[in-house]
Amino acid sequence: MDVLITGGDGFVGQHLCSELIDRGHDVTSLSRTPDPSVLPDEVTLTQGDVTDYDSIEGAFEGKDVVVNLAALPPLHQPPRETSHDSVCIGGSINAVEAAEEHGVTKFIEMSSLGADPNGEIAYWRTQGLGEEVVRCSDLDWIIFRPSFIFGGGSETFTFIKQYTTPYVTVLPDGGKMPEFQPIWVGDCVKMFADGVESDDHVGEVYELAGPEVLTFAEVTRLLYKADGKSVEIVPVPMLIATITLYALDPIPQIPLGINQARALQLTNVTDRNDIGVFGFDKSDLTGLSTYLEGKQKKPKQQQIAANTS
């Protein structure tokens, strides 16, 4: 198949491009600043901005499947020249329109667990509205809502180490929140690639989550433990952390604010984990602690074969 991936050189995209190349597909990655150094040589790179229709439209010609990964991370406030609204909503509108214009067969929208058109946090609200755009299209669509995805190149690891310290660190409410159900990128991309290849998933919304529910404090401890360091966590009241982040919001040089304050109270877990649809059981998934100990589980070859039609 000929597959276009918007945001193909981002964290998830790099792993998905490799998976699709390994499965024998033709892959094109579209982003604003294409970076060939992070992608297999077989991937074609093209430059475009999903907020600018004319800059992306041509890349959709002749494609069988589009995977829309272009997004801004939720960890920091976006730079002033862009926004979650323009990339997640505007970008989805442009990508869907270009896909319809060029007769693309299937459109896969990467949303995330907690996506909610009425949500209070810009990232999840715009993901929810991006989903609506795709649902209203004439395309054969699939929507994935993964939880926090971890693995090589994960910005979340960098973020945690940027704002915490080994041995003793301060966390709002002792890091009891947010709660996550982290899923390994190596497991995720197998499910996304099955979505690309199989006709069984059209019109479905899949929530994907890892084998364990972990708090921010637990993720922080695991990260430092992998470096051979312990962490004593000193709680700071949530109210103080929230007031501080609200006060920082108008300062352009500080990329933290109201959205991050709201995200501190998040429970990003699901009771409805759809990994089973792709032949996975919780015990097949690589958990964060296992990953950090360098013991990723082997890919499920029989599952890949079963889903490759």
112 binds ligand NAP (CB under 6 A): yes
Amino acid present at 2: D
Site for ligand NAP in 44-73 (CB under 6 A): 49-51, 69-73
Report if residue 87 touches ligand NAP, rule: CB under 6 A: yes
Which CB sits closer to ligand NAP, 118 or 309? 118
140-146: strand order across its sheet: 44-47, 26-31, 2-6, 65-68, 106-110, 140-146, 204-208
Tokens at 62, concatenated: 């002749």
CB of residue 28 vs ligand NAP: minimum separation in angstroms? 13
Which of 19/242 has CB closer to ligand NAP? 19
Q: Which of 204, 194, 191 is nearest to 309 (CA)?
A: 194
- Whole-angstrom CA distances from 154 to 117, 180, 183, 186, 240 are 26, 15, 12, 12, 28
* SS3 call for 308: coil
Mark the segment that binds ligand NAP (CB under 6 A) among 1-9, 216-224, 225-233, 277-285. 1-9
Q: Which residues of 210-223 are buried (b: 16+ CB within 10 A; e: fewer)?
A: bbbbbbbbbbbbbb
User: Should residue 6 be labelled a site residue for ligand NAP when binding is judged by CB under 6 A?
Assistant: yes
Q: Report, in Å, the least distance between residue 132 CB and ligand NAP.
A: 15
Q: By C-beta, is 3 or 242 nearer to ligand NAP?
A: 3
Among 3, 96, 104, 110, binds ligand NAP (CB under 6 A): 110
CB 217, min distance to ligand NAP, A? 18
Distance in angstroms (rounded) separating the CA atoms of residues 180 and 193: 24
Sequence-distant (≥ 6) Cβ neighbours of residue 33 within 8 angstroms: 47
Name which of 33 and 253 has its Cβ closer to ligand NAP. 33
Which residue ranges make up the site for ligand NAP (CB under 6 A)?
Answer: 6-7, 9-13, 31-33, 49-51, 69-73, 87, 91, 110, 112, 146, 148-149, 156
